[in-house]
Amino acid sequence: MAGLFPNVTSEYTFGGKTHTNLVISEGAAPAEKFIVSKTNTVTPWTYEFGPEGQQNVVLAKGKIVEAVGVEFDRETGRNVTAIREAQAGSKRAIGVNHHNVYKKRRDGMNGGDATVITRNYIEVPLFEATGGADAAANTAVASSAATAMKFGAAYGAKDSIQPGDFVKVGVDGNFVKLDTAVDSPFEIIGQALAVERDLPPAGFLQYYTEMANPELEAVLKAMSNAPSPGGNGKDAGAYPYGYPHTIKGWKPEFEELLMGKGFGKGIPFLTDGFFKSREKRSFLIDDVYSAVANTGNVEAVRENGNMTVTGNDVVVDADSRNAALFIKLHHPIDKTVAKEDQVKVSYLDGNAANAAKSMLSEDVFIDYTNNMVILYLEAGMSLKDVRIEANLTVDPIAGIPTEWDYAGSVGAVRILLQR
């Protein structure tokens, strides 16, 4: 023994002990057990795509987290490091949460532990607002949009984050630009190296964004099933948009669409920019769309039956029967919201001292195929300032990655973490 270890005094007597433990893991994702602190302020929310039984998120992927000391862990019976979604301006941020952490249940095999990344190069959606000259107000609006997205994001006023800027903890554990003249260097969580604001980003999907299939559009428009308002010898024809009496056979183009080959507008809900384009709009029926200015919401207004339409006002003849007003919208109606919230119609009743009224739901029909709102009207009605409130998808951009496809998102920022 003494020959092998010269400092050992004898074969049975030692002057010390071994000391070999030092490096626990690499620092990019420290191999440490973390539990979600009882002081975490996140209200659990449902992520439908999470594992079965583990969909209540208490700490979202991409959020900046901070250490708050140690807390008792009931699974191990030990005090371990507790983390929570970082508070704005925190100097105790330790990194970014790598994946969703779900709510744990006693004696249940669910929940999981957090993994904190500290030096990775990450990408998060970027939210900006340009509502006015007040940068602080725009930042607040962008912050609200980022918060609504639920996952980790960066936000600020227009063009506020540029490559080379340092970022810190903002509202709800999201990234915001560091003010080097005021903020402490201990607040730095990373540095932006790239900012993507050109939508869609360069990539293979750009090949498809300009594709159009007029024949396919014609097939879809020929499939309307709008209820006829009826007709008599006095009123106009029941189908002013030329609906066919029968549906012809399937077209090859439509079969291709069913098979997943109709990429002209992107893959629905994945690469078509649907979620970013959702808007709730309120407009009068004479708000005619202009392709030059890209403003307006109504393509055309046509009547069935004897009536007079002047701007936003509609007067139905006293002896008219089965009258209907066909209002074709420019932007597609969002069918993912509750049906009763998709379209609402209001007006001022010219026969009742301009009292404000709403159309009954049974008198409003939505023709999804032709993107029309159809109002079924009674004889003698006088409607002024007919207004439509609708949830629409406004100018979706095909080719936007799903991680950027949120209302208010202008692209993404790539950040080199520095913790």
| Residue range 227-253, pLDDT digits in tens | 666 655 555 555 544 444 434 444 444
Band of residue 75 on the pLDDT scale cut at 50, 70, 90: confident
- Give mean pLDDT, residues 394-415: 90
pTM of the model: 0.76
pLDDT, tens only, 23-46: 999 999 999 999 999 999 999 999
Domain ranges of the chain: 34-117, 121-202+403-417, 225-393
- Give mean pLDDT, residues 200-217: 55
**Mean pLDDT computed over every residue of the chain:** 84
HEC profile of the chain:
CCCCCCCCCCCCCCCCCCCCCCCCCCCCCCCCCEEECCCCCCCCEECCCCCCCCCEEEECCCCEEEEEEEEEECCCCEEEEEEEECCCCCCCEEEEECCCEECCCCCCCCCCCCCEECCCEEEEEEEEECCCCCHHHHHHHHHHHHHHHCCCCEEEECCCCCCCCEEEECHHHCEEECCCCCCCHHHCCEEEEEEECCCCCCCHHHHCCCCCCHHHHHHHHCCCCCCCCCCCCCCCCCCCCCCCCCCCCCCHHHHHHHCCCCCCCCCCCCCCCCCCCEEEEEEECCCECECCCCECCEEEEEEECCEEEECCEEEECCCCCCEEEEEEECCCECCCCCHHHHEEEEEEECCCCCEEEECCHHHEEEECCCCEEEEEECCCCEEEEEEEEEEEECCCCCCCCHHHCCCCEEEEEEEEECC
Q: Does the pLDDT of residue 333 top 50, yes or no?
A: yes
